[in-house]
Chains A and B, each alone.
Chain A
Amino acid sequence: MTRFLIAASALAIAASAAQAGDQIRITGSGTVYPFTAAVAEAFGKATGKKTPVVEATGSGPGIKLFCAGAGDDTVDFADASRAMKKDELDTCTKNGVKEVVQLTIGYDGIALANAKAGPAVAVTKQQLFLAMAKQVPDKDGKLVDNPYKMWSDIDASLPKANIVILSHPATSGTRSSIEDQILKPGAESIASLKDLEGKDAKAFEVEFKTLRSDGAFVEAGENDNAIVQKLEADPNSFALFGFSNVALNGSKIKAAKIEGEAPTMESVASGKYKVSRPLFVYAKKDHLASTPDMAAFIAEYMSAKAIGPEGYLVDKGLIPLPADKLKAEIENAKAMKALTADQLK
């Protein structure tokens, strides 16, 4: 028994030494995961090489792992549903990752969805802000705890139903897009808050980012399928999450109009539907030499076959880039131009 154990552990360690570096490893956003996994599978089938391992850790932790170092045992790509931040790139550089290439693969809209059986609504960003923020200005512009219980309290055109909005937790990339694209413009559209932004930007940020905790806004986790099921169970609840969920569950849920425009594949792609965000994949250029499959994987991902308007990712709910941007991105992927700090916020 003892001898067997020693032999087994020796074998395991010997085998592990030979393994590093030959398989592509990807970490990052749960929103981009379904797309990257599909490309990984297609790549594995087409080339007969090992299928890349795709982890769904969330954008932030994924980028952290990506930037942990440049060694063979670190990941090759990071998926992100938001752009990399400047200080994240700094960490990368500090840890020895010299060159990072940013690949934009497409868009994802953020939709306000409810059950098919629920009311059809059209909202503005300001109304969404008023429905979700912990504190809202009263008629004198003084901040008070959110008094709106029902949608109809905010605007008579909205349904007479309690406000319930489900969404992702604060760490998610989806949530930061909601903050940037719905809550911030919604808050800015109110004169007294616009003044506050001019006077005290910090306080303004706290104001629009702090959401109510009285049950009207619910952090429902990152599992979008579970959210879809909750919407079905309660026709009066709404969810703010990725449009691809609506596209793939059209028989169960529907999307509301935001600022007069309903999200569809076309309206998001053309930019008519304003609440959308680009999705990114970051590649570690330093690994091109040690992981030879990387170039082929990038070629598979950044091709019209995958991310073009007829590509297989579009069938999975990705909203394709417009034609000229697509061409530019494919060119950029071929050139592998490294990201610089001034391209980021």
Chain B
Amino acid sequence: MPDIVLTAQQQRTRKRNLTEKRFRRLCFAAIAVTAVFLAFLVMNLGIKAVPAFTSSAMPLTINVEPDKVDSTAIASGDFPGMVKDAIAKLMPKVESRADRKKLYQLLSGSVADEVQHRVMADPSLVGKDVTLQATLSADADMFLKGQQTSTTKFAGTAPLSLAADGEAFKISAQGHGFKAGEIVLTPTGALRVTETSAEGAKAEALVAPDETGAVAAGQWQSLQFSDGEDSRRTSDLEAVWLQRFTDQGKIQSMFDKALFTNGDSRAPEQAGLRGAFIGSLFTILVTLLTALPLGVAAALYLEEFAPKNRFTDLIEVNINNLAAVPSIIFGLLGLAMFLNFFGLPRSSSLVGGLVLALLVLPTIIIASRAALRSVPPSIKEAALGVGASHQQAVFHHVMPLAVPGILTGTILGIARALGETAPLLMIGMIAFIADVPGRITDAATVLPVQVYLWSTLPEAAFRSRTSAAIIILMIVLLCFNALAIFLRNKFERRW
């Protein structure tokens, strides 16, 4: 009966269709899982990196006192002392040496360096005032961004009654329950709540207030922190100062240029990627100049000229094998060869570039051979047919057609070299290098190494710096890959 035959056929078809559907769904799920991972990584990095792209600064006028700097020997002037005086002027009632030092440490050490720079460039500034945007230290910056502790601010909506009680103060305000550790800022002073009770609270003075009796509503405010003073880098007194500067409208958040213009530094707010970027550039340049000619020449010989025998087979197997060797091995080879035997300078981008060239050579040779092989033999045969020598046929006809493939392989190899850290450990490029390299023989480091080094430092501010560096490295790699795709599309020819 036809009916039964149809059903059996239909069942089989349905089963096949179901399998097909299931397979498609599995493939889609694989893509979805990958996309979720990628999105999570990028978002996580992005969120962490945001604080690194801005820094806090405040305008500061520094008097270049002639008794602190001798115009004939500017470099030995006491510039930190001048900056200390300048910021102390902004915050009256800071007298003790320890407090003055703390106040000064709200600022980055780069402020004194910048004043020194300006005075050295223009010695007539001695005795005059210098006004600049003073960058805040990373600790102060992290505190302002809420990365150290979360701060809850209360505006005083009811009058605050304030009564001296020996050394301490008794405070109360209607409708506001004080908590121990809370900081109360009055127009001239600051108090820290020590004890609380039903009718009010006891507080000690951080900055002795001038006012007694009552403070009008709107004239006072209070701050509560989620972490106690001993577990924050910014003390209560420093928090008071920062709040005062914020209230005065002094503190501005601006784009953090230092991240791009400075070399490495141990102070997070001064640490930048320029040294690592230039180091990467030099290293990659050396890699490219060494690996590309060597790789293409080797590929050309093996593909076009070499006789096919046991020996060339052996070479081929070895090249394919080398492409899979762990990168640290190349570092060891570089240490033994370039540093110990040739005596090239340790930590330099020259040696780094040569080691990475060894690393990418197999990749370039394999890619170049594939590109040369994909050129139709008819083209070479035609050239030979009209009387071109083998060399002419290769250089005039085969090579130009293989270039897009060679370039794509090279750029992908270089992009891999750009992300390597392991082989650089052995040749001393995993190092703190503050100076931006000027020559390929100068000590240098590279972007991925900078990421690694920052990630190991204990200062919390380096964590956002690390994420920012990763994002920048990823953008550089993306540019390389985009270039590879562009070149391939531009020069590619199909038969």
Contact = CB atoms under 8 A, between A and B. Distances in A.
A81 to B, nearest CB: 14
Given A116-B231, A250-B233, A19 B458 contact: no
B441 A15 contact: yes
B121 to A, nearest CB: 15
A138 interface: no
Contact of A53 (B75, B231, B265, B431): B431
B345 interface: yes
Contacts of A50: 435
Given A55-B347, A73-B343, A224 B456 contact: yes
A56 B453 contact: yes
Contact of A12 (B101, B148, B350, B434): B350
Given A41-B266, A48-B75, A56 B233 contact: no
A16 B432 contact: no
Interface in A204-232: 222-226
A137 to B, nearest CB: 37
Interface in B427-459: 428, 430-435, 439-443, 453, 455-459
A37 B435 CA distance: 12
Nearest to A229: B463
A245 B458 contact: yes
Interface string A20-61: 100101010010011011101100110010110111110000
A225 B463 contact: yes
Contacts of A1: 293
Nearest to B110: A45
A174 to B, nearest CB: 13
B248 to A, nearest CB: 26
B347 A19 contact: no
A10 interface: no
Given A224-B456, A249-B458, A251-B148, A53 B347 contact: yes
Which of under 10, 10 to 19, 20 to 34, or 35 or more describes the interface residues of A? 35 or more
Choose among A40, A41, A56, A248 the residue with the greatest number of B CB atoms under 10 Å from its CB: A41
Contacts of A27: 428
A44 B459 CA distance: 21
Contact of A37 (B101, B266, B348): B266
Contacts of A317: 458
B443 A222 contact: no
A16 B349 CA distance: 11
Interface in B193-245: 227, 230-233
Given A34-B266, A55-B430, A250-B233, A225 B458 contact: yes
Contacts of A48: 75
B441 A55 contact: no
A96 to B, nearest CB: 16
Contacts of A90: none
Contacts of B439: 15
Given A226-B455, A250-B230, A317-B458, A16 B435 contact: no
A134 interface: no
A168 to B, nearest CB: 12
B460 interface: yes
A37 B428 CA distance: 15
B113 A45 contact: yes
A12 B440 contact: yes
A225 B440 contact: no
B76 to A, nearest CB: 9
Contacts of A250: 227, 230-233
Contacts of B267: 41
Contacts, number: 113
B29 interface: no
Given A40-B432, A48-B75, A254-B231, A8 B289 contact: yes
A40 B458 contact: no
Nearest to A224: B458
Nearest to A221: B456
Contacts of A224: 456, 458
Which of under 10, 10 to 19, 20 to 34, or 35 or more describes the interface residues of B? 35 or more
B247 to A, nearest CB: 24
Nearest to B439: A15
A27 B431 CA distance: 8
A1 B395 CA distance: 15
B266 A316 contact: yes
Contacts of A37: 266, 432
Choose among A1, A34, A222, A225 the residue with the greatest number of B CB atoms under 10 Å from its CB: A225
Contacts of B443: 23, 53
Contact of B233 (A41, A245, A248): A248
Nearest to A43: B434
B280 interface: no
Contacts of B388: none
A251 B231 contact: yes
Interface in B269-328: 289, 293
Contact of B433 (A33, A53, A116, A245): A53
B149 interface: yes
A155 interface: no
B345 A16 contact: yes
Interface in B335-368: 343-348, 350
Contact of B346 (A8, A73, A223): A73
Contact of B431 (A16, A44, A45, A56): A56
A87 interface: no
A17 B286 CA distance: 18
A5 interface: yes
Contact of B435 (A34, A36, A44, A248): A44
A244 B233 CA distance: 13
Nearest to B425: A57
A28 B58 CA distance: 39
Contacts of B157: none
B453 A55 contact: no
B151 interface: no
A25 B230 CA distance: 37
A24 B459 CA distance: 25
B105 interface: yes
Contacts of B435: 44, 50-51
Interface in B443-493: 443, 453, 455-460, 462-463
Nearest to A116: B231
A51 B293 contact: no
**What 9 pairs between A and B have smallest CB-CB spacing?**
A250-B231, A51-B434, A37-B432, A54-B432, A55-B431, A38-B266, A248-B458, A53-B443, A15-B441
Interface of A: 1, 5, 8, 12-13, 15-16, 19-20, 23, 25, 27, 30, 33-34, 36-38, 40-41, 44-45, 48, 50-51, 53-57, 73, 116, 222-226, 244-245, 248-252, 254, 310, 315-317
25 contacts: A13-B344, A15-B441, A16-B348, A16-B441, A20-B345, A25-B347, A34-B458, A37-B266, A45-B113, A48-B75, A51-B433, A53-B347, A53-B431, A54-B431, A55-B347, A55-B430, A55-B432, A56-B430, A73-B346, A224-B458, A225-B458, A248-B459, A249-B458, A250-B230, A251-B460
Interface of B: 75, 101, 105, 113, 148-149, 227, 230-233, 265-267, 289, 293, 343-348, 350, 425, 428, 430-435, 439-443, 453, 455-460, 462-463
Given A1-B293, A45-B113, A51-B435, 14 more contacts: A12-B441, A16-B344, A16-B348, A33-B432, A37-B266, A38-B266, A44-B434, A53-B433, A53-B443, A55-B432, A73-B345, A251-B232, A315-B105, A316-B459
